[in-house]
Homo-oligomer: A and B are copies of this chain.
Amino acid sequence: MIQSLKRTFDILEYIASNGNLVRVNDIAQALGLQKTTVHNFLVSLKQLGYVEQDEVTPRYRITAKINQLDFSGIPYYDLRNKLKPVIERLTLESNETSFLAIQMGNYFRYEWKCEPARSLRISLELGKEFEMRHTAIGKVFMAYSPHLSNTVSKGLSESEIIAQNKEMKQILERGYALDLEEYEKELHCVAIPYFYKNRIISVIGLSGPAHRFGEKEMQHMVQLFKTII
């Protein structure tokens, strides 16, 4: 157990469970630490923006920044159940395979899929990980996460990066991404972000053979998605 990590959270928990406006001394006493120790932690937390001091009295409070770390309330486990009818509907209307993908660091994986009842159809493995580049789904994740986009850019040439940024911008404007035989010959794919509380928590994708699943069909599915979501 990393001591200062534990102390960090001891301090934060103390602040949180004592009205979110507390004195250095009270924390120190309650946790059995030196004032100056607690003070140092608070200075660091303040620099990082996780705590701030009261304007009137020298008291500390936790700021809203901690919220970016809070995923509670996001229905991860409920995601399949929630979006299953959506992708089933998309497959029903398009007669192509639809997917539900979630981000895993620099990769994504399919959590769920729905295949149409026809012989020639796209079929990809659930659970397996895919690279972000060259896939419609990956590009959506990248477009909505500059951080991810930068990571993926590493090692690319100047011109490739410019092209990528341009495409990201376009995806943000349109609200969806396309993969026109980029990942694989004869394969078309369209991907749309799914948000929860302003956070992108999954991406819905639709894949079909290029000859029958063209831009027109894909755009139609985007429209449909937006009406049923």
The verdict on A153 contacting chain B, using a C-beta distance below 8 Å, is: no
Q: List B contacts of A1 (CB < 8 A).
A: 43-44, 47
- Shortest C-beta distance, A101 to chain B (Å), equals 10
Number of identical protomers? 2
**0/1 interface trace, chain A 23-63, chain B, CB 8 Å (1 if under):** 10011001000000000110111011010000011010111
Question: Does A59 lie within 8 Å of B5, measured CB to CB?
Answer: no
Question: Does B18 lie within 8 Å of A69, measured CB to CB?
Answer: no
Cα of A2 to Cα of B43 in the assembled complex, Å: 9
Q: List B contacts of A145 (CB < 8 A).
A: 17-18
Q: List B contacts of A62 (CB < 8 A).
A: 69-71
**0/1 interface trace, chain A 89-116, chain B, CB 8 Å (1 if under):** 0000000000000111110100000000
Known A-B contacts A66-B69, A71-B62; the reply to A48 vs B104 at CB < 8 A is no
**Would you give 19 A-B contacts (Cβ < 8 Å), ordered by A?**
A1-B44, A2-B8, A4-B4, A5-B5, A5-B45, A8-B8, A9-B50, A13-B69, A16-B71, A18-B106, A18-B145, A19-B103, A19-B105, A19-B141, A21-B105, A22-B104, A22-B105, A57-B104, A64-B72
Chain A residues with a Cβ under 8 A of chain B: 1-2, 4-6, 8-9, 12-13, 16-23, 26-27, 30, 40-41, 43-45, 47-48, 50, 56-57, 59, 61-64, 66-73, 76, 102-106, 108, 127, 141, 145, 147-148, 151
